[in-house]
Structure 1
Amino acid sequence: IGQDPQAMARIARATGLNIIMGTGYYTMDSGCAEVLARKTEDEIYQDIINDIMTGTDGICAGIIGEIGADSWPLHDIEIKSLRAAAKAQRATGAGLTIHPGRLDESPLQIVDVVKKAGADMSRVVIEHIDRTAYTFETMVEIAKAGCYLEFDCFSMEGYYPRRYGVFDIPNDAQRVNYIIRLIEMGYLNQILIATDTAMKYRLMAYGGPGYAHIPENVIPWMRDKGMPEEVIRTITEENPKRILTFVAPSK
């Protein structure tokens, strides 16, 4: 949606940041439904392959996603998009990130679909885990499948979308506690963190914590909880580096 490779390139050059462009189709209510409905699974697959291998004006995508799959149960269109993305992941060795629905069952159905489509589950990221998995048990089930669990709602403590019927989203302290429990169970290498800053009220100019919330606040909280520096470095550096690095395509 609104892909602008040239703008991303300009921002990258101006700031010195490494900006990774994604590819694939987002949620049906974002305007993608009509396009997905008329395309075949193979055509969606080819769109993703082209973005990665050829790109636009020489600028190629570096990750697949975030693929929108937030209906419950999944719509046939979303299943088609997920299957195409999973196959493109195997063909390219790129990471695959997925935007799930806001129900405990949603990420588990997604995991089942992409696994059956042949995805490398160690290269799959289930995003928004802290507003999607309502129980710790669901988080563990996703981790057992081999996926990354992305806690990317840090600082989102005033966002309770009532239209989904559930609004007990954890606060940042609870997010850190969930992460500690997952680490104790052996899932350190499957944890990612972010802020998913996409709303004005979360920017510093509008009174929010801004883009620096994780280094300025979350990491110090992790230290206060006794998290060793090497563990913090794994979560903030090594795990992102691993999912963003292409691997040899699967046969």
Structure 2
Amino acid sequence: MPDVLLRTVTGPVRAAAIEGAVLPHEHLRTDMRWAVGIDSDPHRWLDEESTVTAELRELRQSDHELGLVVELTCLGMGRDAAALARIAAGSRVPVIASTGLFAEPFTNVGEQDVDTLTGLLMEEIVSGVDGTGVFPGVIGEVGSWGAEPTPREERCLIAAARAALRTRLPVATHGRNALALLEILLGQGLPGARVAVGYAGGDLGAARKIAEAGAYVSLGSLGLGHEQVARIALGLIEDGHAERLLVSTGVNRVAQVGKYGGPGYAHLFDTLLPRLREAGTGEDVLRLITHTNPIRWLTEGLA
């Protein structure tokens, strides 16, 4: 694997220097309580900087040896790049920040065309995020809120693909119709190997199609429940698609951190990975899906 530089919130880090596990789809600070056209949700936020810092620090110092977090809170989701930099510095866990335009209820793009939206992403990638000097290292999470992407969401996805092609950054998606989102990105010429498809469905067949397209199936242990996630993960491994699998915890609201009784960022390590071991998954495969695959996804376009 080539030794390239990853853009983290505290500066460039050599990919080869990341030795521990990678959480490729997390939220460390987010606020999605209010949106347009859907019900507000008072629990759809996370602003517990000291708590999150402590959880990441503990994971780094534990046997889990957390080595990197990819933070997918982008435009429209309450992103706070300065807070991410403080969390990374306090926990000593490198954090990659993101750019991108999330689903329509949270992102007021109006009738802006693809060129304008692409320019907005390029400005953040080139000049930094929110005037902080933090440079995004990933585009995402981009996607859709409903069953199908709306025309505005499709324009945001196309803009993400075009910005990725210009900058060689990876892309992460989120949405119910994962295959439709992937199809839009691939239709712009973006290689599947540079896309992590956030998959929250229970259909193993759809997950297989994502992997067969060369993209990564990104599973969150908090999403469907760890048994359902384990079923999808084990099915992909059994089918020979282990190299296309990413796993994360997927914390996205305050009730999920340990301080308020939630499982915290350790949920992946405490629940899903032991379940995969019980099913006979070897340590080499667990290393593949928790370290090698996410690093490959992040660096595929940079080599």
Shorter chain as denominator, the TM-score bin is 0.7 to 0.9
For residue 196 of structure 1, the aligned residue among 230, 241, 250 is 250
Match of 2:181 in 1: 110
Identity %: 28
Report the residue type matching 2:281 in the other structure: M
Match of 1:51 in 2: 124
Q: What stretches of structure 1 of length at least 5 have no aligned partner?
A: 157-168
For residue 194 of structure 2, the aligned residue among 123, 127, 141 is 123
Report the residue type matching 2:211 in the other structure: A
Alpha-carbon distance in structure 2 between the residues aligned to 1:200 and 1:7: 15
Pairs within 5 Å for 1:1-251? 1=76, 2-30=78-106, 32=107, 34=108, 36-56=109-129, 57-101=132-176, 106-127=177-198, 129=199, 131-132=200-201, 134-152=202-220, 154-156=221-223, 169=224, 171-245=225-299, 247-248=301-302
Alpha-carbon distance in structure 2 between the residues aligned to 1:239 and 1:72: 28
Alpha-carbon distance in structure 2 between the residues aligned to 1:192 and 1:18: 18
Structure 1 residue runs of 4+, over 3 Å off?
none
Deviations 1:163-212, CA, capped at 9 Å, x for gaps: xxxxxx4x312322321221121211111111211223322222222211
Alpha-carbon distance in structure 2 between the residues aligned to 1:248 and 1:147: 16
Deviations 1:39-91, CA, capped at 9 Å, x for gaps: 22111111212222221332100000001323333211111111111111111
Tell me: CA distance 1:241–1:248, structure 2 relative to 1, closer, same or farther (3 Å): closer
Alpha-carbon distance in structure 2 between the residues aligned to 1:28 and 1:188: 33
Contact residue 138 and residue 171 of structure 2 kept, 8 A: yes
Report the TM-score when normalising by structure 2.
0.69
SS at match of 2:246: strand
SS at match of 1:59: coil
Report the residue type matching 1:137 in the other structure: G
Write 1 or 2 for the structure with the bigger share of helix.
1
Alpha-carbon distance in structure 2 between the residues aligned to 1:62 and 1:142: 23
Contact residue 194 and residue 298 of structure 2 kept, 8 A: no
Report the residue type matching 1:46 in the other structure: G
Contact residue 249 and residue 266 of structure 2 kept, 8 A: no
Name the Cα RMSD after superposition.
Answer: 1.8
Q: CA deviation at 1:25?
A: 0.6
SS at match of 1:82: helix
